Chains A and B, each alone.
Chain A
Amino acid sequence: DTGVSQDPRHKITKRGQNVTFRCDPISEHNRLYWYRQTLGQGPEFLTYFQNEAQLEKSRLLSDRFSAERPKGSFSTLEIQRTEQGDSAMYLCASSSGVYNEQFFGPGTRLTVL
């Protein structure tokens, strides 16, 4: 069991550029979540998938953000036209079963200059 993995671990970009992050969940987990965490705060929900279906999106997720989970396996989160306010840690988690214990990946730290 390799756990949840995320790539890249760090990303520095200039304002206005597009960035894409990848998450590979635990292989038997059918649910996949994206959260965002800023310094000193708890994670905030962004969106989640059950298999390949995107079931919910937060109001935090502006139209510059898009997420996909083709074939119900890995997921990508793309941010278009990045802004300095997008700087944060982007966390991916996966779960399965009725208890919904979510296991988190190491995160991708985004810095927008």
Chain B
Amino acid sequence: ELKVEQNPLFLSMQEGKNYTIYCNYSTTSDRLYWYRQDPGKSLESLFVLLSNGAVKQEGRLMASLDTKARLSTLHITAAVHDLSATYFCAVDDHTDKLIFGTGTRLQVFP
């Protein structure tokens, strides 16, 4: 059974700082997704990573995938308050359904 773990679960960081969120998964997969969720809202798709070595960037966020290590990272550069949200990684388990991690709650303070 595919399991997806994220760490840290909670991240409090100062504006302007850099940090990385990690997503590990337990069985092989070459499709990994990152989502953002604001409190009380639904999920917004951020990145789709489809192969080993894939790297995607959007603004201050950059995601990468290492399928051999079963690891994805979401790097935050020079954090701003607007990035405060919960970030989920999700892995396709080869049957088209997504298995989600527990999420990383990010708070950016001045």
Residues of A whose CB lies within 8 Å of any CB of B are: 31, 33, 35, 40-45, 48, 55-56, 91, 93, 95, 99-107
Contacts and interface: CB of A to CB of B under 8 A. Distances in A.
Interface stretch (B13-21, B39-47, B62-70, B75-83): B39-47
B88 interface: yes
B98 interface: yes
A35 B37 CA distance: 15
A31 B95 CA distance: 12
A45 B99 contact: yes
A101 B102 contact: no
14 contacts: A35-B98, A40-B103, A42-B90, A42-B100, A42-B101, A43-B90, A43-B100, A48-B96, A99-B31, A100-B96, A101-B33, A101-B45, A104-B44, A106-B42
B102 A42 contact: yes
Interface in B39-65: 41-45, 48, 50
**Interface secondary structure of B, over-half rule:** strand
A40 B97 CA distance: 21
Assign chain B's interface to a size class.
20 to 34
Contact of A91 (B33, B43, B48, B103): B43
A100 B31 contact: yes
B50 A56 contact: no
Interface in B80-110: 88, 90, 92, 95-103
7 nearest A-B residue pairs (beta carbon): A42-B100, A104-B43, A45-B97, A104-B42, A106-B42, A101-B48, A107-B42
A44 B100 contact: yes
Given A91-B42, A101-B33, A31 B96 contact: yes
